[in-house]
Amino acid sequence: MKRLDVDNLGERLTRRLAGRLSRRSALARLGALLVAAPAFPLLPVQRARAADAAQSKPKGTDFSRAAQTHDDKACNYWRYCGIDGNLCSCCGGSMHSCPPGSQPSPTSWIGSCINPDDDRAYLIAYRDCCGAKECNHCSCLNTDHAMPIYRPQANNHVIWCFGTQSFEYHCSMAVLVGLAQ
Amino acid sequence: MKRLDVDNLGERLTRRLAGRLSRRSALARLGALLVAAPAFPLLPVQRARAADAAQSKPKGTDFSRAAQTHDDKACNYWRYCGIDGNLCSCCGGSMHSCPPGSQPSPTSWIGSCINPDDDRAYLIAYRDCCGAKECNHCSCLNTDHAMPIYRPQANNHVIWCFGTQSFEYHCSMAVLVGLAQ
Amino acid sequence: MKRIAHEAAKAAASVGALLIAAALGATVWSTARAAGAAAPPVLQSETAGVTPFAGLTPHELTYSTMDGLTGGGIRIIDGDTAKLVASVYSSQYANFAWAPDHRTLYVSETYWTLGNRGTREDVLSIYGGPTLSNEGEITLPGRLISDPKTHTFALSSDGRYGYDYSFQPAPAVTVIDLHSRKVAASVEIPGCGLVFPFGERGFASLCADGSLAVADVDAQGKYTVRRTKRFFDVMHDPVMDESVADGRSGLAFFVTYDGWVHPVQLADTPRFEKAWSLEQAAGMSAATSRGGQITWRPGGQVPFAYQRSRHRLFALMHEGPPWSFEKPGSEIWVLDARSHRLLHRWDVPESAYLVAVTADAHPLLFALSQSWLWVMDPDSGAVLRATQILTPGLVRVRGE
Amino acid sequence: MKRIAHEAAKAAASVGALLIAAALGATVWSTARAAGAAAPPVLQSETAGVTPFAGLTPHELTYSTMDGLTGGGIRIIDGDTAKLVASVYSSQYANFAWAPDHRTLYVSETYWTLGNRGTREDVLSIYGGPTLSNEGEITLPGRLISDPKTHTFALSSDGRYGYDYSFQPAPAVTVIDLHSRKVAASVEIPGCGLVFPFGERGFASLCADGSLAVADVDAQGKYTVRRTKRFFDVMHDPVMDESVADGRSGLAFFVTYDGWVHPVQLADTPRFEKAWSLEQAAGMSAATSRGGQITWRPGGQVPFAYQRSRHRLFALMHEGPPWSFEKPGSEIWVLDARSHRLLHRWDVPESAYLVAVTADAHPLLFALSQSWLWVMDPDSGAVLRATQILTPGLVRVRGE
């Protein structure tokens, strides 16, 4: 299996989004300019976790067989294969935009999920929005390829609010990082 | 209506409890020695509230007609005619004893309730136990003769945790103060 | 095989959610595979940001969650979609108000350095900017800590001053200059409580003897407090903490446990108008606290809302005995506050503890139970939409 | 008349409550009026105090509430009555442990001076004395903030030292001298996490490569960390965070997602025993993470409990596919940890996320769902009693 070139991830993340993405993405871009641009990857642990995610090829899990690509407010949306928490899409945000009143953490853990529309595995950054109280809408617990906490780079129980003003967990995003293979 | 002699209240409260009270009272006495003895009445506002309670003779309320004298874990126990919150009797304490992990506030508001067994009206100090998180058992909202917050001496919405180490509300006791008439 | 059944239920639920999402115009992500076409393009990487907040809209409701277990927090729900729009952190027992720009949120709250112990800090926290983020705090000399009460915190109608009711346990009102972000004055109001701002810098408070305290300020910023006459009988039929007041016009409706509405034009010398009865407005006898009379009475946690433009008073009403002023409403009564007539009696799907009405030309009526928000049409009583909420404490809508 | 119906319901409920109270031997207050006798005596005034706390009893369960909305807190429930006995404040994301005296409770927790912001303070809070009151805090250099994990905090078996796992995000173990109430050391454990004390002052941690880190200390208090061999395949079948370890004997059972039990005698040089399969102990094929196999698997939040005196391992089991290690258990399997045999399969009334067993001669088994605590007989599987609880995070019983 080809290992992911993590050094290109930062560059990829700073690239403009393709034009075909929606109006909501335009809002997200604006949001990203208003807060500090997500510094990614920053920590050595993040390189390790991206490598992990690429290594554990997510073929044929129970989740991936039932996943859908239409509704980002449902727990079985394809990107949420490893999400644990409240979907930001149900809290006034989106899959890559925190609701007003919260801030995206620059750190996250990384999983990989299969998109049923193209059968490709993508790296997904499960990034927490921090600062407001727990949103309590659309609580999902998907654990595909989630690792124990002693392997934190792939663990969804850590509160990933390092680097923000607050450790108060509000909701979780599923930001598309790139192809896993 | 005879106004209550509030200056005697303090003395009455420091008196030993009558022998016929239960084992639980012995525990409560012990508890009272372990914490600072409840300084009552301390504040000018407390004299005012005792006077209030004695003034508003609690005859013939909906609550008093349905009240019982057997079960201090039920909202319709006679002493609870003006209680708003969790019964300490359901939280590891009693009507006059805070559960371990919490402390009785030296301040309280005072109501008066009719005891159906002797048809007498008694002054009841609704004293909050403070320090632990809200108990969340036996939540009652009885409002006989409860006054608005701008008349705090008879208001059950104020968090009566003045004078304790913590303002964290845990549960409410209904301590028998004496006859209202 | 329970697992299979569970998956099927999830799939069904997601179809439902999809229909709702589509109906509300939510963005639907799909990389639909063109039949027989080339492989779909690889999805592009995304950046993470914050959804901008352009200000509270006329149909948005802001509510604080009830204290105790949920421990505070403020949420904004769009009445047009019944969806959560934004959330702001707060302590438990907080109050809050929006600046006239509808973008700046002030939160009056209390913290201890070690959760329930340590050093106490009373602050007015400021949220705003493009993403409703924290913009600092103003330290307060004290605050009342109590179950939620609307009139413990308010702004002057121009948004220049904040007024925070303090009870330590001596009652006072803290006046905060929001331009300089400093406490301007601490005004003692012995025997009184709550705060109802009027005019440019004045405020009134309700007093334990049935009168009002009226505070006015001189050019040097010094406050003088005077008492009005007693206008209600506090021992037998007190006015509720949760009366309504329109800060813009200074018109207050102080409503008693028995449903007597005392209209008062707040001013340096308040004008007391003749009281009228909610029950008489409905063609019933006036309620009384004597004899255990069962009748329709106002009650709940925030039982009244006032729509200035149409002079309409909304009241949560229930059938009950005296001293039942905290029982939730099974009906919302719509009253004309000028003619003292009942216009409508609307059923609510579940007994409501709080009511609110928007101030715009096409108003929405909100009824809140312990766990549901019902969005209603104030003119037809129809339930337009609903959403589950955390137990609500206080509500605010945009003033116009 | 809804009111009447409501009152009737309340009366019926109170009769029920009375019966329960009587059955449980609760104090019943009554000033029963003697028929035809003189007027009853006037009730005497009372003083207010605190119910004494004489230490955790062998049948009492301590649980922390789940984080997020409920915001922490620790509660003690008596397994013999299913009643709440005491409550201790905590921050959210706290962990806790009882001293060997069963009277002193240590709480590892984190606060910010302004709730969600301000200055962070990581502390080990001490509760004890006759009423389980706060006796101060020891400042910690840092902590992991995560969903509840049993093995982020533990005491040495003699109660002299506390071990707190820190992740900032560099992993370390803070060693606290509980006699002097000072931090004794901060031991870095790169690539590892969690803490399993053994012996007088040693501890082990699980490592991301499938090995253990073993820390031992010299006479000067300096810790040395060494790695053992890799004993499990972390990428394909990692051992769970919520494995069980008996601090007294140093015997740990590290259980994998697929149900392989790795018994390890913790020591300076750990002894790794041959792994055995929970499923094979039940006469089934061993579970595998390949091919989407649906079989019985361990899962939940705290899925294992160990009873040292009878060498019994209790496991929450569900039928599910690979990666379902957080699904709650529909059954509790009782296994002999020496013979590797399944002794019983007990149904639980509602799928359970946590399991615990008391350490005394007449043990009780506890199964915890999201909102119920079920007290069971470990030998018959009978449900003895139940009570509603707040969503549980972690559980601890008295060690003997």
pLDDT in 10s for each residue of chain C, 400 residues: 222 223 233 333 332 232 222 222 222 233 333 344 567 888 989 999 999 999 999 999 999 998 666 778 999 999 999 999 999 999 999 999 999 999 999 999 999 999 999 999 999 999 999 999 999 999 999 999 999 999 999 999 999 999 999 998 899 999 999 999 999 999 999 999 999 999 999 999 999 999 999 999 999 999 999 999 999 999 999 999 999 999 889 999 999 999 999 999 999 999 999 999 999 999 999 999 887 899 999 999 999 999 999 999 999 999 999 999 999 999 999 999 999 999 999 999 999 999 999 999 999 999 999 999 999 999 999 999 999 999 999 999 998 7
pLDDT over threshold 70, residue D165? yes
* Min distance D352 CA to chain A CA atoms (Å): 16
Asked if residue B16 belongs to a domain, the reply is: no
Sorted by where each starts, the structural domains of chain C and their CATH numbers stand as: 236-400 (2.130.10.10)
* C-beta of residue D144 within 8 angstroms of C-beta of residue D163: no
What is the DSSP code (8-state) at residue D129?
T
Cβ partners under 8 Å of residue A138, min gap 6: A73, A74, A75, A86, A87, A89, A90, A91
Rounded mean pLDDT of D299-318?
Answer: 97
What total number of domains does chain A contain?
1
Distances (CA, A) of A115 to A11, A78, A180, C269, D395: 23, 6, 11, 70, 39
Asked if residue A121 belongs to a domain, the reply is: yes
Average per-residue pLDDT in chain B? 75
Confidence grade of residue B56 (pLDDT, cut at 50, 70, 90): low
Average per-residue pLDDT in chain D? 90
Q: Which of B49, B80, B150 to mutate to test the interface with C (most CBs of C within 10 A)?
A: B150
| Entry pTM | 0.86
Asked if residue A154 belongs to a domain, the reply is: yes
* Min distance C266 CA to chain A CA atoms (Å): 35
pLDDT over threshold 90, residue A59? no
Mean pLDDT check: name the lowest of B34-43, B136-145, D296-305: B34-43
Phi, psi of D11 (to 5 degrees): -60, -45
pLDDT over threshold 50, residue A52? yes
Q: Count residue pairs from A and D with Cβ separation < 8 A.
A: 102
CA geometry: angle D321, D323, D328, nearest 5 deg: 80
User: Cα–Cα distance between A49 and A65 in angstroms, integer?
Assistant: 24
pLDDT of residue A18: 24
* C-beta of residue C97 within 8 angstroms of C-beta of residue C153: yes
**B150:C69 CB<8 A:** no
Between positions 20 and 49 of A, the ones with CB within 8 A of C are 21-25, 27-35, 37-38
**C321:D3 CB<8 A:** yes
pLDDT over threshold 50, residue A13? no
What are the chain B neighbours of C241 within 8 Å (beta carbons)?
148-150, 157
Asked if residue A20 belongs to a domain, the reply is: no
- Antiparallel, parallel or unpaired: β C171-177 and D153-155: unpaired
* Min distance A70 CA to chain D CA atoms (Å): 24
Q: ipTM of this predicted complex?
A: 0.86
Nearest CA in chain C to D116: C89
* C-alpha gyration radius of chain D: 23
pLDDT tens digits for D70-84? 778 999 999 999 999
Confidence grade of residue D362 (pLDDT, cut at 50, 70, 90): very high
Tokens of D352: 């359970």
User: Cα–Cα distance between C187 and C181 in angstroms, integer?
Assistant: 18
Asked if residue B7 belongs to a domain, the reply is: no
- Please report all neighbours of D, defined by 3+ CB atom pairs within 8 A: A, B, C
Q: Is B78 a residue of the active site?
A: no
CB proximity A158 to D under 8 Å: yes
pLDDT of residue B31: 27
Distances (CA, A) of C339 to C277, C379, D311: 12, 17, 81
pLDDT over threshold 90, residue D88? yes
**D3:C294 CB<8 A:** yes
Letter string b/e over residues A127-151, b meaning 16 or more CB atoms within 10 A of that residue's CB: bbbbbbbbbbbbbbebbbbbbbbbb
Nearest CA in chain B to C171: B150
Asked if residue A126 belongs to a domain, the reply is: yes
**D321:C70 CB<8 A:** no
Sheet of C105-114: strand order equals: C95-98, C105-114, C117-128, C133-140
* C-beta of residue C393 within 8 angstroms of C-beta of residue C66: yes
pLDDT of residue C66: 84
Which domain CATH number covers B83?
Answer: 2.60.30.10
Q: Count residue pairs from B and D with Cβ separation < 8 A.
A: 203
pLDDT over threshold 70, residue A17? no
pLDDT of residue D68: 64
Asked if residue B12 belongs to a domain, the reply is: no
pLDDT of residue C28: 28
Name the residue with higher pLDDT: C103 or B48.
Answer: C103
**D319:C1 CB<8 A:** yes
Asked if residue A19 belongs to a domain, the reply is: no
pLDDT of residue D67: 67
pLDDT tens digits for B90-120? 999 999 999 999 999 998 888 999 999 999 9
pLDDT tens digits for A76-108? 999 999 999 999 999 999 999 999 999 999 988
Which structural domain, as residue segments, surrounds residue A80? 40-179
**C115:D69 CB<8 A:** no
pLDDT over threshold 80, residue D8? no
pLDDT of residue B52: 58
- Please report all neighbours of C, defined by 3+ CB atom pairs within 8 A: A, B, D
What is the DSSP code (8-state) at residue D324?
-
What are the chain C neighbours of D7 within 8 Å (beta carbons)?
none
pLDDT tens digits for D187-209? 999 999 999 999 999 999 999 99
Name the residue with higher pLDDT: B14 or C246.
Answer: C246
Confidence grade of residue A19 (pLDDT, cut at 50, 70, 90): very low
User: Cα–Cα distance between D175 and D190 in angstroms, integer?
Assistant: 16
What are the chain B neighbours of D104 within 8 Å (beta carbons)?
none
**C69:D113 CB<8 A:** no
pLDDT of residue D69: 64
* Min distance D324 CA to chain A CA atoms (Å): 7
pLDDT over threshold 60, residue A168? yes
**B61:C322 CB<8 A:** yes
Q: Which of A136, A143, A150, A164 to mutate to test the interface with D (most CBs of D within 10 A)?
A: A150
What are the chain D neighbours of A84 within 8 Å (beta carbons)?
147
Amino acid at D203: F
* C-beta of residue B102 within 8 angstroms of C-beta of residue D50: yes
User: Cα–Cα distance between B161 and B173 in angstroms, integer?
Assistant: 12
Rounded mean pLDDT of A130-149?
Answer: 94
Touching, A vs B (3+ Cβ pairs under 8 A): no
* C-beta of residue C50 within 8 angstroms of C-beta of residue A100: yes
